Structure 1
Amino acid sequence: MLRLLRPLLVSLLLIAPSAFAEALYQVELIVFRQAEKPLNASQPSPEDWAGNALTIAPESERGPALTGDAEKLAGKGYQIVLHKAWQQGVGSSPAPVRFVTGKERDGHFPVEGVLDLTQGRQLELNLQTWVNQFNRDGFLASSERLQIQRRLIPGQPTYLDHPSIGALIRVTPL
């Protein structure tokens, strides 16, 4: 009997890693300013803010679905500084993506960030976002920074709080 089960067990072990392969998700991110006056970080956004993060491919970008939530935030006096949606593969090893909005100046954007999702037993988020201010000459003067690590429930919008900027994110399996 054990001789018959041995090939079956070996086949299951070979198939099992594919169960943990990369899954496709739609990511939607809203970054908003909560305070009237920015609370700047002690240091502006670093020159290598994106590190080895990949750029979101234009064909991966999607139309945002949380427009009602963005309108509610704006109606309550919050300033929406970024609202993007894209599809992204998520696996068990980190694969960070970079996101930006606005015109590049001095190697930086008005809003720039890196989002990393990993799928283990749960969906893990690591998010770094900078909302930058530039001086009259177009050089980076100061930055607000949001850095969060959190577990997410797929399909459920999650608020990420910070004293001056915040975010709303929803990650939905496709």
Structure 2
Amino acid sequence: MLRLLRPLLVSLLLIAPAAFAEALYQVELIVFRQAEKAVHASQPAPEDWAGQAGAIPAQSERTPVLTDTVAKLEGGQGYQVLLHKSWLQGAGSSPAPLRFVTGKESDGHFPVEGVLDLTQGRQLELSLQAWVNQFNGDGFLASSERLQIKRRLIPGQLTYLDHPSLGALIRVNPL
């Protein structure tokens, strides 16, 4: 009887960790404007732009390391870096999105705000939604540019995410 159970137990041990494990990654995100003229979305960022996404915990924030890449973007290439952040984020089989922001809050929004989700299945899947917001003289949200991308990532590789007026570079390193 034990001989019959041994292959079953071994196969369960090999399958179970992959099914329940959550991998931890260091995410580094750069959002930049590619053109001088913004391409605004048909509607400004919604009031509930973050949905159920949690904030990046302070202990998960990291010092960005792609400073040379940012310097190249800003160094006479016509690009404007709008956000450069790095943090730790888990990736499991179910979504656990985190929200990111930069700048001073006004009218419930930030100059750059967004939600990033990593899902680990057979491959690492990215879901990114970011808004670059413009405010009027009274501090109310006037218009937004929206960057929305779903894509497979290769861990450790710097990946370019394209948009007509915005761009993003992301590197997701496994820990």
TM-score by length of 2: 0.94
- In 2, the alpha carbon distance for the partners of 1:57 and 1:8 equals 43
Structure 2 segments unaligned to the other structure (5+ residues): none
**Structure 1 match to 2:26:** 26
Could you tell me how far 1:9 is from its partner in structure 2? 1.1
Letter paired with 1:19 = A
Q: Aligned with 1:37: secondary structure?
A: coil
**Structure 1 match to 2:55:** 55
TM-score by length of 1: 0.95
Could you tell me how far 1:89 is from its partner in structure 2? 1.1
- In 1, the alpha carbon distance for the partners of 2:7 and 2:45 equals 54
1:140-159 paired onto structure 2 within 5 Å: 140-159=141-160
Q: Does 1:89 align with 2:90?
A: yes
Q: Aligned with 1:13: secondary structure?
A: helix
Report runs of 4+ in structure 1 exceeding 4 Å deviation. none
Q: Does 1:36 align with 2:32?
A: no
Answer yes or no: is the 8 Å Cα contact 2:102–2:113 preserved in 1.
yes
State percent identity of aligned pairs. Answer: 73
Which digits, 9 at most, give the CA deviation of each residue in 1:127-161, with x for residues without a partner? 00000000000000000000001100000000000
- In 2, the alpha carbon distance for the partners of 1:11 and 1:35 equals 56
Letter paired with 1:170 = R
- In 2, the alpha carbon distance for the partners of 1:10 and 1:61 equals 40
- In 2, the alpha carbon distance for the partners of 1:8 and 1:105 equals 61
- In 2, the alpha carbon distance for the partners of 1:109 and 1:10 equals 52
Which digits, 9 at most, give the CA deviation of each residue in 1:58-93, with x for residues without a partner? 110000011111111111110000000001111111
Could you tell me how far 1:4 is from its partner in structure 2? 1.1
**Structure 2 match to 1:104:** 105
- In 1, the alpha carbon distance for the partners of 2:16 and 2:52 equals 26
Letter paired with 1:66 = L
Which digits, 9 at most, give the CA deviation of each residue in 1:96-123, with x for residues without a partner? 0000000110000000000010011111
Could you tell me how far 1:18 is from its partner in structure 2? 2.1
- In 1, the alpha carbon distance for the partners of 2:111 and 2:87 equals 19
Could you tell me how far 1:14 is from its partner in structure 2? 5.3
Q: Does 1:5 align with 2:11?
A: no
Structure 1 segments unaligned to the other structure (5+ residues): none
Superposed CA RMSD: 1.3
Letter paired with 1:16 = I
- In 2, the alpha carbon distance for the partners of 1:47 and 1:104 equals 13
